[in-house]
């Protein structure tokens, strides 16, 4: 019996050595054998540089004529947090989310609920690192982010069937979503937005920002108003998880409808459940292409303390992941996870783990339905 067990263990360990190791950032896909025959890349999930889910790093901003690996879905960090109205720190969100994703690796990411592995499907998924943004001038930084999106989404995709690469942005404060929406508009026209957040973020720049300057008016609470004014989004958009106080009781709601949104409030989940929330969101956006923006403050601070404008009474991580996975079937042209400010996290990295898994769910939606 013991001998059999030993044999099994032996077989298992030799099988483990044949795994083609994940495209970790530091090492290539090929195992590297030392002189004594040991595969030095084996079990090296945390080796090399930290990319999202140990994906290969591609220098997506490479200039004309430079050799570039092709991709279908690109992860880009947007280290920008000077558009916030409360605690700063989300400029380190991209690094934080990558840190929270260290455990995720292509060869062992089979979803227990769906049986799928997004990293071993048709899509070439890469991490492009962070967009180079100045931290001294918001206007310039956002133009740099616009340009980054344009360049990264403008390259030919790896797939010949679905020629436009899609982007998942790691924020960054929520202002960064504006650049992403400008980019999806360029390729796909007006999109419906599913906006997971505790706050409305459709505030008129004259209301939030005090109207003191144009510069002040472009911030993480007004970007959806601006996106509406620029004609980037459809009037079939929806908020999910709203619970933060309003600035003007009637004015905020009127303005929100004018910007094209319907509100699903945080406590609606107690009445209609996860399935009810999914139905509402799907019915709202079903006839259009969809952009999903996840402000991590949609979660309760118990599950995501590391954010700038935390609001109590939010959803659990499990509820959010179930709702996201329930959106399967929609045509997702872009997505983001924003407002992750690692400095406020705890040693268990609760927020970072949650944000990393939200990105994983978003990848699942994108891989499931390719978009032409």
Ligand X SMILES: *[C@@H]1O[C@H](CO)[C@@H](O)[C@H](O)[C@H]1NC(C)=O
316 exposure class (CB count in 10 Å sphere: 0-12, 13-18, 19+)? middle
Contact partner, 173, from ligand X, Mn ion, none, Cβ < 5-8 Å per class: none
Contact pattern from residue 155 through residue 174 relative to Mn ion, giving x for each residue in contact according to CB under 5 A and a dash for the rest: -------------------x
The response to whether 130 counts as a known ligand-binding position is: no
The response to whether 199 counts as a known ligand-binding position is: yes
Give the CA distances from residue 34 to residues 16, 21, 40, 232, in Å, rounded to whole numbers and listed in that order: 17, 15, 6, 54
Q: Return the number of the residue (13 or 30) whose C-beta is nearest ligand X.
A: 30
- Token pair 């084996």 is found at 42
Range 278-285, long-range pairs (CB < 8 A, 24+ positions): 278/323, 278/326, 278/327, 280/238, 281/194, 281/238, 281/240, 281/323, 281/327, 282/326, 282/327, 282/329, 282/330, 284/192, 284/194, 284/236, 284/237, 284/238, 285/192, 285/194, 285/236, 285/237, 285/238, 285/330
Q: Shortest distance, CB of residue 124 to ligand X, whole angstroms?
A: 4
Q: Give the one residue of 111, 114, 213, 235 binding ligand X; rule: CB under 6 A.
A: 235
Q: Does 81 sit near Mn ion (CB under 5 A)?
A: no
How many Cα atoms sit within 13 Å of 268 on the Cβ side?
Answer: 19
What is the Rg, in whole angstroms, of the alpha carbon atoms belonging to the chain? 21
Q: Does 319 sit near Mn ion (CB under 5 A)?
A: no
Q: Does 124 sit near Mn ion (CB under 5 A)?
A: no
Q: Does 124 sit near ligand X (CB under 6 A)?
A: yes
CA gap 280, 275 in Å, rounded:
9
Q: Does 345 sit near Mn ion (CB under 5 A)?
A: no
Q: Does 195 sit near Mn ion (CB under 5 A)?
A: no
CA gap 138, 155 in Å, rounded:
26
Task: Give the residue from 369, 367, 362 showing the smallest Cα distance to 101.
Answer: 362
The response to whether 174 counts as a known ligand-binding position is: yes
Q: Return the number of the residue (174 or 234) whose C-beta is nearest Mn ion.
A: 174
Q: Shortest distance, CB of residue 269 to ligand X, whole angstroms?
A: 26
Binders in 135-194 for ligand X, by CB under 6 A: 158
Q: Does 336 sit near Mn ion (CB under 5 A)?
A: no
By CB under 6 A, the count of residues binding ligand X is 4
Q: Give the one residue of 72, 127, 190, 295 binding Mn ion; rule: CB under 5 A.
A: 295
The response to whether 214 counts as a known ligand-binding position is: no
Q: Are 333 and 289 in contact (CB under 8 A)?
A: yes
Q: Give the one residue of 46, 110, 122, 215 binding ligand X; rule: CB under 6 A.
A: 122
Residues that bind Mn ion (CB under 5 A): 174, 197, 201, 295
Q: Which residues are annotated as a binding site for Mn(2+)?
A: 174, 197, 199, 201, 295, 297
Binding residues: 174, 197, 199, 201, 295, 297
Would you tell me which residues interact with ligand X (CB under 6 A)? 122, 124, 158, 235
């Amino acid at each position: 019996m013991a001998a059999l067990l030993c044999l099994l263990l032996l077989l298992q360990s030799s099988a483990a050595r044949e795994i083609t190791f994940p495209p970790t950032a530091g090492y290539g896909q090929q195992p590297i054998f030392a002189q004594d025959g040991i595969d030095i890349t084996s079990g090296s999930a945390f080796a090399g540089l930290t990319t999202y889910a140990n994906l290969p790093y591609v220098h997506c901003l490479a200039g004309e004529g430079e050799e570039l690996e092709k991709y279908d879905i690109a992860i880009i960090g947007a280290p920008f947090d000077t558009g916030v109205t409360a605690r700063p720190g989300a400029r380190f969100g991209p690094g934080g989310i990558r840190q929270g994703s260290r455990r995720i690796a292509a060869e062992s990411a089979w979803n227990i609920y769906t049986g799928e592995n997004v990293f071993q499907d048709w899509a070439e998924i890469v991490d492009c690192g962070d967009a180079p943004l100045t931290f001294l001038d918001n206007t310039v930084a956002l133009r740099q982010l616009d340009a980054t999106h344009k360049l990264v989404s403008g390259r030919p995709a790896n797939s010949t069937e679905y020629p436009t690469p899609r982007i998942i942005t790691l924020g960054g404060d929520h202002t960064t979503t504006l650049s992403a929406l400008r980019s999806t508009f360029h390729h796909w026209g007006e999109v419906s937005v599913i906006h997971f957040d505790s706050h409305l973020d459709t505030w008129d720049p004259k209301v939030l920002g005090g109207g003191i300057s144009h510069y002040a008016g472009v911030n993480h609470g007004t970007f959806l108003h601006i996106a509406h004014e620029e004609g980037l989004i459809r009037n079939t958009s929806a908020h999910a998880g709203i619970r933060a106080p309003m600035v003007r009781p009637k004015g905020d709601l009127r303005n929100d409808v004018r910007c094209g949104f319907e509100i699903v409030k945080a406590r609606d989940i107690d009445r209609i459940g996860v399935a009810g929330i999914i139905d509402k969101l799907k019915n709202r956006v079903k006839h259009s292409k969809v952009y999903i923006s996840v402000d991590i403050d949609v979660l309760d601070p118990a599950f995501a303390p590391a954010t700038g404008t935390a609001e109590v009474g939010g959803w659990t991580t499990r509820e959010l992941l179930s709702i996201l996975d329930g959106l399967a079937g929609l045509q997702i042209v872009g997505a983001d996870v924003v407002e992750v400010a690692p400095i406020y996290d705890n040693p268990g990295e609760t927020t970072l783990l949650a944000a990393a898994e939200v990105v994983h769910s978003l990848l699942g939606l994108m891989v499931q339905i390719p978009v032409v």
